[in-house]
Chains A and B, each alone.
Chain A
């Protein structure tokens, strides 16, 4: 069994300040973890992924996330927010042996607002 908890449904930051979106997961097996971003009326775009290599993962648009097994966390950060970062962010986990049939488990999403 696997699950994802995004600890904040809404986060509001000022442009140029750091962003922190929190995610905790549970998984029976070694997990693969992803962050996806969704702009209004758009599909999901992959920001970054963790698949058991380096624990600090760098993604697109200056985002990064750190896999902390002891804390079962995979928080998303960015040093300086930009107005274009305003969107919905989903933390996603998948795990299991049969990679071809893996289901993704989505968190409930965090809406990021960026104030000018």
Chain B
């Protein structure tokens, strides 16, 4: 009965090779978020979708893009991963009342 699902749980990519991380939800929430969490740090919001309305945080690098083809799915695309992009990527959903439900995360390793 998983509610927010992230695939894969671990992703290894090469420097500069595009990578896509996936998130799906069974909660039918209208808001979906992507966070980046580096070691021993708090999660940092990259962007979120309110329905189909995309909202980018001001300091999110252009290297990071997102797609939301429907309510259930949201993707994080990293066009040219650098070593500094190695992190845990967390997807979260919300019905818009403040409470967010997090997925288990995808740990990205860049070689």
Contact = CB atoms under 8 A, between A and B. Distances in A.
A44 B43 contact: yes
SS class of chain B's interface: helix, strand, loop or mixed?
strand
Given A42-B105, A51-B98, A101 B55 contact: yes
Nearest to B44: A106
B90 A43 contact: yes
Interface residues of B, number: 27
B99 A46 contact: yes
A41 B90 contact: no
A101 B50 contact: yes
Contacts of A94: 98
A100 B42 contact: no
Nearest to B43: A106
Given A43-B105, A44-B43, A108-B42, A99 B90 contact: no
